[in-house]
Structure 1
Amino acid sequence: MTELSDLPLRANLVGKRPYGAPQDPVPVSLNVNENTHPLPEPVLEDIIASLAEAVRGVNRYPDREFTELREALAGYLCHGITPEQVWAANGSNEVLQQILQAFGGPGRSLLSFTPTYSMYPLLASGTDTEWIGVPRPADYALTPEGVSAALTEHQPDIAILCGPNNPTGTPLDRDVILAAYDAFDGILIVDEAYVEFDEQRDTAVELLPGRPRLLVSRTMSKAFAFAGVRLGYLAADPAVIDALRLVRLPYHLSALTQAAAVAAIRHSGEMLATVADIRAQRDRLQGALEELGYTVHDSGANFLLVGGFADPEGMFEALRGRGILIRNLNIPGHLRITAGTSEETTALIQAIAELTPVDTQH
């Protein structure tokens, strides 16, 4: 059989590995930062009814400009955002890919601060954009001075600030965003995939007026518990939206995706009702792990980066053997754990306690 190495692959893709995480059918899956709480039944019924109505028209192409969805997203975002400032695609990864297609490419660069979301360098490779990874400080928290210095030095065409940051959970302060915007002349993306879980900080959407190079990316996969629908969106200057139209595929959002997303936003209060419980389980998990002697980094997201594992791969596999899936991202001594339901958190804490040597526990 033909191997990948036998094909005339683009040079910058040779040796790359596709993004992926285990999808084992385990009882407790806490490895990809999903919202593990089920959707309320009345919300499901309305979404199903909306899908049934949309199916009646699938012999025709969907609304290419997804007007109703953009109106709904603008209403959800508030802060004076208009539909003309909103874009959406099949997950925030496609939104980011379209940004790189429009503003990146050969001879251009993308910068972010590592460790961060592992798709960023893959999206750079896929669009033939140079990737610049700048290491974060030891505590992973970005500072205005550090970010400004890196952007001044490298002057990338695009920079991404992930806040809260994946995989560390580190919150992103407003003064860091403002310093970054002023430090270079390129496109600045603030990736707010987990922003609904951070009750301490305001959204960067508030900073959009007067900043045409600032783009704020969001997703419905996390707090909205809508990962399987694949809906990411963006708030930016209307001119940026026009630029993304140049690279999007025709009719890229299906009628079913549009209908499901509009219905979900109609019930945003109910969809987001689990966020407070997820925060509570995250904090409960942090306290239990610290009591067991582990180091837990501050998190504004629905997951924790946990250090202090003498053998992360061993712990990962031991938990996997017990039907609990977390994430090993090859950060020395660390594992990432999504905050789940109360029952999932209880099972996880009990399993880690049983697997942790007694002499390391507090």
Structure 2
Amino acid sequence: MPSPTDALANLPLRDDLVGLHPYGAPQLDVPILLNVNENTFGVPADVHSAIVEAVSAATQGLNRYPDREFTELRANLARYLGHGLGPDQLWAANGSNEVLQQVLQAFGGPGRTAIGFPPTYSMYPLLASGTGTRYVTAPRGAAFSMTPDDTARAVRESGANIVFLCSPNNPTGTALELGVIEAAYDAGEDARAIIVVDEAYGEFAQEGTPSALSLLPGRPRLLVSRTMSKAFALAGARLGYLAAAPEISDALRLVRLPYHLSAITQAAANAALTHADTLLSNVEAIKVQRDRIVAELTSLGLSPAPSDANFVFFSGLEDPRRIWEGLLAAGVLIRDVGIPGSLRVTAGTEEETTVFLSTLRTLL
């Protein structure tokens, strides 16, 4: 009997998919999961009750297709984001990955190019590959920095049709200055490049870190992507969204699948948005643990990157694999992102963070 690998090799895959591996972090059954940047606080009781009630009501109409334009959800998302946004400037899909996929379907494709700045979110090249979009990269500077001049030069020289700017960046947690985004937008003028600012971790930003949402007026090619997976603790609900000029939503309607957001998903997201204040109070607690991790890793002689996210990327390890395995043996799963001498850990509850730090201290 052929192995799964051999069986796959016998299929008539597209040439550019041969040899690729699916995206995904290890899913192991351990007590403390700090590897995929989930909100480990979970859904508060009152929010849980509201979601159950809303979903129960939605099930009464499951024999009908859902609202194709997710009208109520777009209004709630616009209200939540503020910045003078209207419902016609919001778009949503099943997780921010699907939002980004739709952007590539609409503005990428064969003969077009997307650019990213690694180390950054590893789904960008996979989404590009899946849509037949050429993917190129440009390097970051010291400490994973990006300057306006270097970014503009990379955008111009690549002739990219789509530019991915992740802020706060995954896996480093570092945020971009607005000047970098403005420079990328201006540099993409000749190619009419779509500039995507991925703010999946935007709610966890340090005080004073600005959002690219403030740059949207007058920039019809600028898109700001967000998610309800992290701050709203709804990773299992799969709801991502973006804010942009109204014509961006019109473009995405050309490629989205019919009725792509289920009535259940819409109901859960709307219920959560009505309790945004409760959910964001957990965000503040997570930020406390993130900053605690940064401080204690520094005291241990390691080099954590400044983080505006709900995780901490840290370097200075002689043998990161040994540390990763030692933590796993103690019931703590963190992420090896493949960068030499480095690991990444999600900021969990106070108890989870204490176990991580005490175990790491012993291993070091």
Cα shift readout 1:177-210 (whole Å, capped 9, x = no counterpart): 1111000131000000001111322221111111
Q: Structure 1 residue 195 and structure 2 residue 169: aligned?
A: no
Q: Distance in 2 between matches of 1:233 and 1:332?
A: 33
Cα shift readout 1:277-309 (whole Å, capped 9, x = no counterpart): 111101111111111111111111111111011
What SS does the aligned partner of 1:97 have?
Answer: helix
Q: Structure 1 residue 273 and structure 2 residue 289: aligned?
A: no
Q: Structure 1 residue 54 and structure 2 residue 58: aligned?
A: yes
Q: Distance in 2 between matches of 1:160 and 1:324?
A: 32
1:360 alignment counterpart = none
Q: Distance in 1 between matches of 2:165 and 2:120?
A: 9
Cα shift readout 1:81-123 (whole Å, capped 9, x = no counterpart): 1111110000000000000000000000110100000000000
1:13 alignment counterpart = 17
1:64 alignment counterpart = 68
What SS does the aligned partner of 2:61 have?
Answer: coil
Root mean square deviation of aligned Cα: 0.9
Any residues of structure 2 matched to 1:12-91 within 5 Å, and which?
Answer: 12-91=16-95
Q: Structure 1 residue 323 and structure 2 residue 331: aligned?
A: yes
Q: Distance in 2 between matches of 1:292 and 1:206?
A: 38
1:243 alignment counterpart = 251
What SS does the aligned partner of 1:188 have?
Answer: strand
What SS does the aligned partner of 1:301 have?
Answer: coil
1:359 alignment counterpart = none
Q: Distance in 1 between matches of 2:138 and 2:21?
A: 21
Q: Distance in 2 between matches of 1:79 and 1:286?
A: 31
1:304 alignment counterpart = 312
Q: Distance in 2 between matches of 1:175 and 1:11?
A: 39
Q: Distance in 1 between matches of 2:209 and 2:359?
A: 33
Q: Distance in 1 between matches of 2:174 and 2:163?
A: 17
2:295 alignment counterpart = 287
Q: Distance in 1 between matches of 2:299 and 2:363?
A: 14
1:38 Cα deviation from its structure 2 partner: 2.2
Gaps of 5+ in 1: 357-362
Q: Distance in 2 between matches of 1:346 and 1:304?
A: 15
1:4 alignment counterpart = 8
Q: Distance in 2 between matches of 1:272 and 1:105?
A: 37
Any residues of structure 2 matched to 1:169-248 within 5 Å, and which?
Answer: 169-184=173-188, 185-198=192-205, 199-248=207-256
Write out the 4+ residue segments of structure 1 that deviate beyond 4 Å after TM superposition: none
2:327 maps to amino acid = L
1:29 Cα deviation from its structure 2 partner: 0.4
Question: Please, what TM-score do these two structures have when normalized by structure 1?
Answer: 0.97
Q: Distance in 2 between matches of 1:289 and 1:209?
A: 40
2:127 maps to amino acid = L
Cα shift readout 1:23-72 (whole Å, capped 9, x = no counterpart): 11211100001110022211111110000000111011100110010010
Aligned length, in residue pairs:
356
Gaps of 5+ in 2: none
Q: Structure 1 residue 163 and structure 2 residue 167: aligned?
A: yes
2:112 maps to amino acid = R
2:149 to 145, 151, 159: 145
1:56 maps to amino acid = Q
2:237 maps to amino acid = V
Q: Distance in 1 between matches of 2:271 and 2:209?
A: 27
